[in-house]
Structure 1
Amino acid sequence: MKSKILSILFITFLLISCQGQTSKTVETIDGKTYADKLSSTENPQLLDVRTPEEYAVEHLENASNVNWNGDDFVAKAEKLDKSKPVFVYCKVGGRSNQAAIKLLELGFKEVYNLDGGIMKWQGKKTANSNTKPTGMNASEFEKLINSDKKVIINFSAKWCAPCKKMAPYLTKMQDELKGKISLIKLDADENKALMETMKLNELPVILIYENGKETWRSLGYLSEEDLRKQL
């Protein structure tokens, strides 16, 4: 009888423990919901977890820069109030999701992650007024794709994990198809104005052009097999 009681108590303890662990999850929410929660929170803790360089170009109004890839992320996070909501965002949502999970591990109760990151944010941003537009403009891009050969454009970024995963096979294809197809890689951060003009709000990006006209596009990770099907 005693052993049965102990078994029941042990199982109950496990269930309570599991419920406690699963109740704390990152809430990844769309831009409107994120903005509403942000505006309704008194003195919100808003964290831009990108690099200082990205933050300097533009960021959400009143956001503090706490670089997820920096050595001092945890130290800076520990200075925040763990009992109050924390809002995090990055470029497309990957780094901020990792940062949000870490914040929960550190004991924060409410953590909200911006779905799609700043690339999908439609609200107010604070930009560095001294930053001049860089990279390719629309006219230069049109010249790039104006070819009698099929042209593949790949937008990626150094911080983008799916981009890094695709990079090896894209480099291989670039060599294999040389002279038959033009495969051109463009840095999204260095061509921000072009990305906005083309309404590209996710990475990586693959665009295929024939005779200067777009025939196919893919946003997000794409396998080598799936890309080759389009060639």
Structure 2
Amino acid sequence: MKKFISLLVVVTLFASCQGQNAKAIQTIDSKAYSEKLASSENPQLLDVRTPQEYAVEHLENATNVNWNGSDFTSKVEKLDKSKPVFVYCKVGGRSSQAANKLSELGFKEIYNLDGGIMKWQGKKTSNTAVTPKGLSVSEFEKLINSDKKVIINFSAKWCAPCKKMAPYLTQMQEELKGKISLIRLDADENKTLLETMKLDELPVILIYENGKETWRHLGYLSEEDLRKQL
């Protein structure tokens, strides 16, 4: 009986903690995020991507605190926990983890940008001197104009679903050589191309036949589901 009561107490405390975390964090879309930022006095706005990503572009007045850096906790501990804090990353994965950590540290009001900077509609600070060039639209069109079926994969080094898909895509590149062209492109090095194509989520799989798009998928895709389209 005592063991049961102890277990019940642990479960109750865990559930209570989870509930408090959920209450502290709000994941909201670009419009609501922008409005909340504008209505907050001296907002604590955190870009939790890498310094390299931040250098290319970031939201105006954002401070870079790398979620994957060893000093993330020590840096955010210097912030005012009684005031709202806003977090964002590229597509929302890292900022979601950062938001959970901020809640654990005692922050009471946390706003996470749904879809990350890829879905942001407001002002950004860009550094054109370090913005990767990547492929132009005309160069991309040359890639897809083929008598073979062409698969285009946009991914990024920091993207967890992309990493999960990478092994089977690498295997398929070898397996389908000469039959189908499977081309993998770095999203961070082709930012302008993604914006032109209105792709605001990663990973991306696009299939072309005779230069025309016949199928697309945004987000994680299993090997089995991709093979169904070939």
TM-score of the superposed pair, with normalisation by structure 2: 0.92
| Matches of 2:139 and 2:93, distance apart in 1 | 31
Confirm or deny that 1:223 pairs with 2:210. Answer: no
d(CA) in 1 for partners of 2:170 and 2:211? Answer: 23
2:40 is equivalent to residue 22 of structure 1? no
Distance in 1, Cα, partners of 2:80 & 2:167: 42
For residues 118 and 143 of structure 1, what CA distance do their matches in structure 2 show? 29
2:53 aligns to what SS in structure 1? helix
The answer for the alignment partner of 1:142 in structure 2 is 141
Cα offset for 1:128?
Answer: 1.2
Q: Name the residue aligned to 1:79.
A: 78
Q: Number of aligned pairs? A: 224
Aligned 1:109-120 pairs, distance under 5 A: 109-120=108-119
Provide the C-alpha distance between the structure 1 equivalents of 2:36 and 2:131, rounded to a whole number of angstroms. 33
CA drift of 1:24 comes to 2.7
2:63 maps to 64
* 1:151-166 to 2 correspondences below 5 Å: 151-166=150-165
174 and 15 in structure 1: CA distance in 2 versus 1, 3 angstrom threshold: closer
| Stretch moving more, 11-20 or 79-88 | 11-20
1:171, distance to aligned residue in structure 2 (A): 0.6
Choose 1 or 2 for highest CA Rg. 1
Change (3 A) 1:187 1:20: closer
CA distance in 2, matches of 1:187, 1:160: 11
C-alpha distance in 2, partners of 1:227/1:21? 36
Aligned counterparts of 1:227 and 1:39: Cα–Cα separation in 2: 42
SS of 1:189's partner is helix
Cα distance in structure 1, aligned partners of 2:175 and 2:10: 59
- For residues 159 and 20 of structure 1, the distance between their equivalents in structure 2, rounded to whole angstroms, comes to 29
**TM-score normalised according to structure 1 size:** 0.92
Instruction: State the distance in 2 between where 1:150 and 1:13 align.
Output: 56
Percent same amino acid at aligned positions? 78
RMSD over equivalenced CA pairs, Å: 2.0
